[in-house]
Amino acid sequence: MKDLSRYSKSLGLAKYYVYTFYDKEDVSKKPFYIGKGKGDRCLSHIKHPDESSKSERIKELIANKKLGIDILRHGMDESTAKLVEATCIDLLGVGELTNKVRGSSSLMGRITLDELQHLLLKEETDIAPEHAGIAFLLNSTYKSGMSALELYEATRGIWL
C-alpha cells in the first residue's frame, strides 16, 4: 500500500469520521468492516494488525492491491460518529436501497481516502499520461459515487 503517512494531515483535519474497508474489485463497494475514529485510526488496522479475521482479510487485499478505504462521513463529534457507525453497521446487508438522495450533508458523505486528501488539503492531482483527457468543471452538480448515467447527465448540459 502507498505511504500511509501522507494521509496524516487530512485525517487530522477530518475530526471524527466513520470509515469502511472493502474489496476494490467489488463494484458495489460493499464493506467488510465499518469503524469510527479520528486521526489515523482507519490506518491503525494496517499498521498494527491483530490476529482477527478482519486483519487477515486486510492483509490479503493489501497483498493483491485491492484494499479500498472510504470515509463515509467526516467532520463529526465523537457521539455523532458513534451513532453513524452504529447505524451503518445496522444497515449492512440490508440490500438495495431506494433513496433518491444521499441524505443531508452529502458534501461530507462517502468519499475515498484519496478524495478526502485532495478535498481537505486542496492538493493538485497527478494525472498519468495514459489517463490524459478533457476535464469538465461540474462544481455543485458533481457528487462522489455518482453512477455513470448521473455523471453523463451532469456533463452533457447545454453546449453553446
- Give tens-digit pLDDT for 26-82: 888 888 888 899 999 999 988 888 888 888 889 999 999 999 999 999 999 999 998
Q: What is the CATH number of the domain that holds 110?
A: 3.40.1440.10
pLDDT for the residue numbered 118 = 80
Residue 145 lies in a domain: no
Residue 137: inside a domain, yes or no? Answer: no
**Is pLDDT at 135 greater than 80 in this prediction?**
no
- Classify residue 104: in a domain, yes or no: yes
Q: Residue 102: what pLDDT?
A: 41
Report pLDDT for 37. Answer: 94
pTM given for the model: 0.64
Average pLDDT over all residues of the chain: 80
> Would 24 be classed as within a structural domain?
yes
Other beta carbons within 10 Å of 45: 21
> Would you list the DSSP string of 95-155?
-----SS--S-GGGSSEEHHHHHHHHH-PPPP--GGG-------GGG--TT--HHHHHHHH
Domain boundaries, position 47 = 4-127
pLDDT at 104 over 50: no
Based on the structure, what is the number of domains in the chain? Answer: 1
